[in-house]
Each structure stands twice: as C-alpha cells, then as structure tokens.
Structure 1
Amino acid sequence: MAISKQYLKTRPVCKVTFTVPAKEAEKVAVVGDFNNWKANKASSLKKLKNGSFKGTLELPKESTFEFKYIIDGNYVNEAEADGFKWNDYAGGENALLVL
C-alpha cells in the first residue's frame, strides 16, 4: 500500500493518491474523517490492470485525518500511514494522514 502527496501552490489543498495492491479484491474504498466514513462512488478506488486499486482525493492542507481502507467489506489500515491513533468507537487503531 502507498500514499503519495502533491501540494498545490495555487490552492490550499493537497492531492493525495492512495494505491492498494489487492489483486483478489472486487471493491476497495478509502474512508475517514474527510468523508464521514462513508464508502461511496467518490471514495471508491479504481482497479488497474496490474490488480492494484488507485484513487486521488483533494484534501485541505495543514490538516490531519483518520482513515482506513475497506477491502471487500473488511476495514484495513495503511501500513505506511503517517501514524496511528486509537479509536474507542472502532475498538482499534486508525491510520493517520498528516497534510
């Protein structure tokens, strides 16, 4: 799994690209504070020919978000996240994205 960040000079946003290798998966989405933890069309990642899933979101600079991937209905953390934070509601850690 991987995250790449591209900070825009002209706007106060960062383009964040999420890449998830999941050849056997049917659906992958990224959910978090930035979209009220809702898996929808905007949060769905597109399956590429190599079997990985990829998608880009524009998020506000100078922000920190908790997030997870949903891979075929299972919540999965990003191993290369900027950090992890315990979440009592979920009873586990969420990945952190620091912009």
Structure 2
Amino acid sequence: MLERARHERHTEITFVIPADQPRGDVSVVGDFNDWQPGTHPFAVRDDDSRAVTVTLPGEQRYGFRYLAYGDYWFDDQDADGHDGHNSILHT
C-alpha cells in the first residue's frame, strides 16, 4: 500500500506492508535509490504494519520493488501500475 503526502515541490511516499508478510527484514528498492538494498528498510509501526517513508520530487515516475530476506523480491499490488517487471509509482 502507498500513502502520499503531497507538498509544493516534493511528495512523501510511505510504503506499507503487513506485519508478517514476508517475515524478516524488508527494504524498498527502486529508481529513487539506485536499486540499492537496505537503503530504505521497513520499520514496525504502532499498528504492527511495517513502513518506510521516502521523499521524492513531484511529477516523476519511478519503478520499485520490495526485497526481503533470502533474496525474495515482490511487488506492491496497490501500486499506480506495473510494467511487467516492477511496480510503478507516480508522484
């Protein structure tokens, strides 16, 4: 799930996943962090879901995926789109 907070010159995107799916450490990787695992790791929230917030310039398109422990890659089914390889996000 994606939560957005739009501002005049940027958008804060909060990526949210369930507490236990998948188990272990997860990070969001994409065009905005040069696909570097571990740059944006998820943290547990008060409601036990996990989330990470990334600030991005407005009016952009980004490919992204989630990477979990054990080299397990998965997509966000609620993303703005999918291109056959990645989830797509529009700021």
Given the two structures, how large is their TM-score scaled by the length of structure 2?
0.87
Cα distance between partner residues in 1 of 2:17 and 2:65: 11
Name segments (4+ residues, structure 1) moved above 4 Å: none
Structure 1 unmatched ranges of 5 or more: 87-92
Question: Who wins on radius of gyration, i.e. which is larger?
Answer: 1
Is it true that 1:94 corresponds to 2:91 in the alignment?
A: no
Q: Matched residue pairs, number?
A: 89
Q: Report Cα offsets for 1:15-58 as digits up to 9, x if no partner.
A: 00011014161101000000010012x41010235442111000
| Shift in Å, 1:71 | 2.0
Cα distance between partner residues in 2 of 1:51 and 1:4: 16
Match of 2:67 in 1: 70
Q: Which structure dedicates a bigger proportion of its chain to strand?
A: 1
Equivalent residues in 2 for 1:37-56 (5 A)? Answer: 37-40=35-38, 42-48=39-45, 50-56=47-53
Distance change >3 Å, CA 22–CA 74, structure 1 → 2: farther
- Sequence identity of aligned pairs in percent? 27
Given the two structures, how large is their TM-score scaled by the length of structure 1?
0.81
Letter in 1 for 2:74: V
Give the CA RMSD over aligned residues: 1.5
